[in-house]
Amino acid sequence: MIRPLLALTALALAARAADLKADAVVALDGSGNYTSLNEAIGAAPMRTDATQPRWVIRVKPGIYHERVYVQRERGHMRIVGDDREKTVIEFNVHANLPGPDGKPLGTFRTPTVQIDGDGMIWENLTLANTAGPVGQALALRADGDRLEFRRVRFLGWQDTVLLNRGRHYFEDCYIEGHVDFIFGAATAWFERCHIHALRDGYLTAASTPQGTAHGYVFSHCRITGADGAKTYLGRPWRNYAQTVFLHTEMSANVRPEGWHNWNKPEAEKTTFYAEFDSTGPGASPATRVPWAHALTPAQAAAYTPAAVLGGTDGWNPAR
């Protein structure tokens, strides 16, 4: 049974954050340089050169009710929370709210945190959209490249995490939602993450562009769900969706058929949905849809963070 954070307790993480040599500190009680994370990010230097040190922002515990935007010119930074359970960035915008023109905002304008910058690292905090079961409501919209999330909780309902473009790495994270709550066209690696279904729905809705080598890869992860909830591993938002689960523990919340075609039979010929060494009551290779793939050991071994995320610059955030 896989459990993240075996070596790093909450107390140890908090102590490490306190010892962090931060360039700026965010604290609701006024004990830092800023009371708003968005303000602290907006005041950071415009730094995109990956050879320079990252600008480091420490975020003390508190519920920060705000929306955060990271522009492209300020991507090269690191955001570190003291306690991932108690350091919460939250907002509650959802797709059905009226925009300035009186029309519904739509999915893409709802994120609590939107990242256009490249090379960010987020650690040890929570990003949440608290709108609830009222429609699409993003906790995160990722438009940058080479984004890393370590020990981060993502809380939402429908469309919790939009990986819109780029390459992203998630390690020891917790992601919850109901429908399509990990979705988009990016390439992403999830290592030792806990994925939790709140109700009947779909874990992933990849829209991998045609010709892209990889979509989503979940490695040594764990899938759970609320009592009675039944979930599919994924369905294709676009017809060339790619999603792979490796060495993942699956609870009985995972439907025996595993995958759904989104009522698009033609997508069965173009998607790449695959598993290797799934365990637990939700692992049921004999009942999976016939158009899904069971990887061989050699095929599974070819999936590594370096191979999936490397691109043209050899990026490998796994360490």
Return the bridge partners of 138, or none.
none
Q: Which residues contact 235 (CB under 8 A, 6 or more apart)?
A: 180, 202, 204, 205, 241, 259, 260, 261, 262
Distance CA 112, CA 160 (A): 10
The 3-class secondary structure across the chain, one letter per residue, is CCCCCCCCCHHHHHHHHHCCCCCEEECCCCCCCECCHHHHHHCCCCCCCCCCCCEEEEECCEEEECCEEECHHHCCEEEEECCCCCEEEEECCCCCCECCCCCECCHHHCCCEEECCCCCEEECCEEEECCCCCCECCCEEECCCCEEEECCEEECCECCEEECCCEEEEECCEEEEEEEEEEECCEEEEECCEEEEEEEEEEEEECCCCCCCCCEEEECCEEEECCCCCEEEECCCCCCCEEEEECCEECCCECCCCECCCCCHHHHHCCEEEEECCECCCCCHHHCCCCCEECCHHHHHCCCHHHHHCCCCCCCCCC
- Catalytic annotation present for 101: no
Question: Active site residue: 83, 118, 159, 172, which one?
Answer: 159
Q: Which of 23, 82, 116, 180 is catalytic?
A: 180
* Residues with catalytic roles: 159, 180
